[in-house]
Amino acid sequence: MLKIIYLVLVLAYIFLLPGWLIAKILFHKKDNSLATCAIGTALSIVVLPIILFSIAMALNTFIQEVLVFTVTSSINLILAFILLYKTNKSV
């Protein structure tokens, strides 16, 4: 049971957080949080695996937990900075 909870949290971090950030950047002026979060999540589900696959090919490795965490964290950080920049700009 603990393993399932851990995995759900991991997945939430991997998919929901970058998803939310992507969507916030795209639609940060729109007041539709459900749609915003869903678009970002869906984009993460669809686009993130392709990015992982290409990075794995470039690094001559396979798709593993460490790679997923590293790539997702990097994407999250970059997106967070873009969001910060955009929000400041709009303010």
Task: Note the residues at the interface with another protein (CB under 8 A).
Answer: 4, 7, 10-11, 14, 22, 26-27, 30, 35, 38-39, 42-43, 45-54, 56-57, 60-65, 68
Q: With contact defined as beta carbons under 8 Å apart, do 23 and 86 qualify?
A: no
Question: Helix (H, G, I), strand (E, B), or coil: what is residue 61?
Answer: coil
28 vs 84 by CB, closer to another protein: 28
Smallest gap from residue 84 Cβ to another protein (A): 19
- 33-58 and 17-27 are packed helices; what angle lies between their axes, rounded to 10 degrees? 120
Smallest separation, CB 47 to another protein (Å): 5
- Measured between alpha carbons, how far is residue 79 from residues 6, 14, 61, 62, 64 in Å? 24, 13, 25, 25, 22
